[in-house]
Amino acid sequence: MTSNELKELFIKTYGEGGDIGTYFAPGRVNLIGEHTDYNGGHVFPCALTIGTYGAIRVRQDDVLRFFSVNFPKGGIVTSSIHSLAPGKDTGWANYPKGVIWTFEQKGHPIPSGADILIYGNIPAGSGLSSSASLEVLTGLMLSDSFKMNISMQDLALYGQFSENTFNGMNCGIMDQFASAMGQKDCAIFLDTNTLEYEYAPMKLDGIRVVVTNSNVKHSLVTSEYNTRRSQCEQALKELQEVVDIPSLGALTPEVFDFLAPSISDPVIRRRAKHAVYENRRTIDAVNALKAGDIERFGQLMNASHISLRDDYEVSCTEMDVLAEEAWKIEGCLGSRITGGGFGGCTVSLVKEEAIDTFQAKVGEAYTKRTGLRADFYVVDIGQGAHVI
């Protein structure tokens, strides 16, 4: 969508007049490093070229108005900058509201109201971070329109804070960070413990990133996610009785194996094992990529899926079918769940000449085994949030 198209939609919704700013924040796909970001581990996501667009016009009073092109039936949602509070309302507008509330919590209250229009092109329920992109987008719209000059990294942190406190999802920093800090044709190797990061080129000769949408989203995603997070916290607490570590990400698999018996519950032990081993896989995968060993990168992706399935238990039949069928295709280097799990998408690395076969065979087998249709996106890696 262009800036002019957005402005037209904005004027149709709210009327003429004043300066209208237009912005975009992308969704993300994570290549490897799943459920490590709230455990002080590493992640390796990249920004997509699909995401959420926004237009904003500052008002002179304290009224806030929100409209989503995707949910026209909801009409214009109206609020005030003084009446925002967590847990009060439901619906999509709770994401931008949460970010506005967060600005105040962080010492940057917005001085007046605004009219906001949103349009997103991330498939609903796909797990490609439509909510994080909406949060980062809102942050950028506010920071730019009210001339607050908040850094992109802080906008990512505000988005996460908002999601944790306003929307009740105890997510880590990965999704918002990728949406805010993404760079074209690169993945971000991020240490979530220190927020140090580096960009790694992902324009690979003859290999593409393919995202497969299972078109299922199981309920309980948020509650299961929050449970996994507290299980990891429990594991850390028990380990801290025998070793001085700030997070599970500080342990190597070797030390973990030695200390694991001090975690009493076998389920909690498996959760922690995933977090520790997945962190190592992520570091190894980035090293393999740097050394040009893409085959090894793919094998680590497969191992990641197996660990998410067996130790972390965030997979489901549909995701396992997609991964298993992908593993059978010659020219598919690796395939795994991406994102929180319980549905959503897999991410695969596929040789260009095998993409047609990949889509045909995986699609057919998926329908045969589950009765559902899969959608395939051969993705481009895009830029982080920006003015358009």
Q: How far is the CB of 232 from ligand GLA (least distance, A)?
A: 10
Angle between helices 130-145 and 174-181 (to 10 degrees): 50
Nearer to ligand GLA, 79 or 129 (CB): 129
| Cβ-Cβ contacts under 8 Å for 334 (sequence gap 6 or more) | 297, 298, 299, 300, 301, 302, 348, 349
Please name the amino acid found at residue 358: F
CA–CA distance, 190 with 177 (Å, rounded to integer): 9
For residue 287, give Cα distances in angstroms to 19, 29, 182, 209, 281: 47, 19, 20, 18, 10
Q: In the chain, which ranges are continuous DSSP H helix?
A: 3-14, 94-105, 130-145, 152-165, 174-181, 221-240, 253-259, 266-290, 294-310, 317-327, 355-370
Nearer to ligand GLA, 20 or 275 (CB): 275
Nearer to ligand GLA, 21 or 26 (CB): 26
Q: Are 56 and 14 in contact (CB under 8 A)?
A: no
Which spans of this chain sit near ligand GLA (rule: CB under 6 A)? 34-35, 37-38, 171-172, 174-175, 339-340
| Cβ-Cβ contacts under 8 Å for 335 (sequence gap 6 or more) | 301, 302, 305, 322, 323, 326, 327, 346, 347, 348, 349
Q: How far is the CB of 177 from ligand GLA (least distance, A)?
A: 9
| Cβ-Cβ contacts under 8 Å for 68 (sequence gap 6 or more) | 74, 92, 93, 117, 118, 119, 120
Nearer to ligand GLA, 115 or 175 (CB): 175
Provide the 3-class DSSP secondary structure of residue 210.
strand
Q: How far is the CB of 168 from ligand GLA (least distance, A)?
A: 13
Q: What percent of the residues of the chain are helix, what percent strand, and what percent coil, each to the nearest 5? A: 45, 25, 35
Q: How far is the CB of 209 from ligand GLA (least distance, A)?
A: 17
Q: How far is the CB of 115 from ligand GLA (least distance, A)?
A: 29
If we measure between CA atoms, which residue out of 230, 211, 176, 222 comes closest to residue 43? 176
Q: Are 387 and 147 in contact (CB under 8 A)?
A: no
Nearer to ligand GLA, 28 or 57 (CB): 28
Q: Which positions are annotated as active-site residues?
A: 175
Nearer to ligand GLA, 347 or 354 (CB): 347
Q: In what order do the strands lie in the sheet with 196-201?
A: 42-43, 186-191, 196-201
Nearer to ligand GLA, 35 or 351 (CB): 35
Please name the amino acid found at residue 9: L
Q: How far is the CB of 258 from ligand GLA (least distance, A)?
A: 26
